[in-house]
Amino acid sequence: DAKTTQPPSMDCAEGRAANLPCNHSTISGNEYVYWYRQIHSQGPQYIIHGLKNNETNEMASLIITEDRKSSTLILPHATLRDTAVYYCIVRVTNAGGTSYGKLTFGQGTILTVHP
Amino acid sequence: DTEVTQTPKHLVMGMTNKKSLKCEQHMGHRAMYWYKQKAKKPPELMFVYSYEKLSINESVPSRFSPECPNSSLLNLHLHALQPEDSALYLCASSQDVYRVNTEAFFGQGTRLTVV
């Protein structure tokens, strides 16, 4: 499994951009980077995923470095409701390139958005 | 409908009890998962079902018995649990286990307390 490293916690002011980094230096060429978040006492929520190119959806943007060894999740205008644990996950594939659907969660980053 | 519904939301059971957790999705997903999450820890995969067949058991003790009676339902039967099994049990689903480029949807979890 490609492991991920994230800072344990980050703070962000409401209305500002939140930039959450993730290191995945052992990622393989066919592995995707996924981001999920978990608001207190709720189930994890999918945010975004990508392979090589930068991605954007209605929730966030994902910037992946050219060597794919790290990525950054950007919440463009953070609100108090974005306070959560953010997980960066590299999607596991087996040797034949077939994913068994496993999501291996690391410790994540606790993002606290302040008024 | 992009919901994964778990019942009950809360469950308290004695060590000699038998109980079941239920999970339901109507998205036509053919992969379903059970995760266990202890307090202040990330979710950990327990079981993966693919097309109603058990494809992954992450060395889970036999006091946890999963069942997938049809493509929309996933149960987790509990028997002779220990207090250390108290946790949030999360169900998830995805299109199938073979596509890497697809997200998983999580339910809100069942918070289990074993007394």
> Could you count the other beta carbons within 10 Å of the beta carbon of residue A65?
12
pLDDT of residue B74: 98
Interface test with B, best of A105, A107, A109, A110 (most B CBs within 10 A): A105
Q: What is the pLDDT of residue B46?
A: 97
Q: How far apart are CA B74 and CA B93, in angstroms?
A: 10
Chain B positions contacting chain A at CB under 8 Å are 4, 31, 33, 42-45, 48, 50, 55-56, 88, 90, 92, 94, 96-101, 103-109, 111
Looking at every residue in chain B, the average pLDDT score rounds to 95
Give B20's strand partners: B77
CB contact under 8 A, B103 and A100: no
Helix or strand run (H / E) with residue B101: none
SS3 of chain B: helix, strand, coil, percent, to 5: 5, 55, 40
Residue A54, both tokens = 């930068």
**Band of pLDDT at residue A3, cut at 50, 70 and 90:** confident
Give B96's contacts in chain A (Cβ within 8 Å).
101
Q: Which residues of B touch A101 (CB under 8 A)?
A: 31, 33, 48, 50, 94, 96-97, 104
How many whole angstroms separate alpha carbon B40 and alpha carbon B83?
Answer: 17
**Reduced to 3 states, what is the DSSP secondary structure of residue B36?**
strand
Report, in this order, helix, strand and coil percent for chain A, each rounded to 5.
5, 45, 55
Q: How far is CA B66 from the centre of its chain?
A: 8
Return the pLDDT at A1: 58
Pairwise CB contact (< 8 Å): B109 & A99: no
Q: A110 vs A35, A40, A52, A72, B41, CA distance in Å?
A: 13, 10, 26, 15, 12
Q: With b meaning 16 or more CB within 10 Å and e meaning fewer, what string describes B17-34? A: eebebebbbeeebbbbbb
CA A78 to chain B, closest CA, distance in angstroms equals: 23
Residue A89 pLDDT > 90: yes
Residues belonging to chain A: 115
Can you give the pLDDT at residue A96? 66
Closest CA to B112 of B10, B14, B20, B38: B10
Q: What is the pLDDT of residues A19-76, one digit of tens each?
A: 999 999 999 888 899 999 999 989 999 999 999 989 999 999 999 999 999 999 999 9
Q: Which of B33, B105, B109 shows the shortest C-beta gap to A46?
A: B105
* Mutation choice for B interface testing from A5, A30, A33, A46 by most B CBs within 10 A: A46
Tokens 């327990």: give the residue.
B46
User: Could you tell me if B21 and B78 are in contact, meaning their C-beta atoms sit under 8 angstroms apart?
Assistant: yes
Q: Pick the closest to residue B95 from B73, B71, B114, B113 (CA basis).
A: B71
Q: Of A34, A43, A103, which is closest to B109 when you measure between CB atoms?
A: A43
* Residue given tokens 């690391």 in the structure block: A106
pLDDT in tens, B49-100: 999 999 999 999 999 999 999 999 999 999 999 999 999 999 999 998 888 7
Question: Hey, are the CB atoms on B99 and A99 less than 8 Å from each other?
Answer: yes
Does the distance separating the beta carbons of B101 and A51 come in below 8 Å?
A: yes
- B24: its two tokens: 């339901």
Nearest CA in chain B to A100: B97
Q: What is the DSSP string of B71-91?
A: TTEEEEEEES--GGG-EEEEE
Q: For residue range B2-55, list pLDDT tens digits in order.
A: 699 999 999 999 999 999 999 999 999 999 999 999 999 999 999 999 999 999
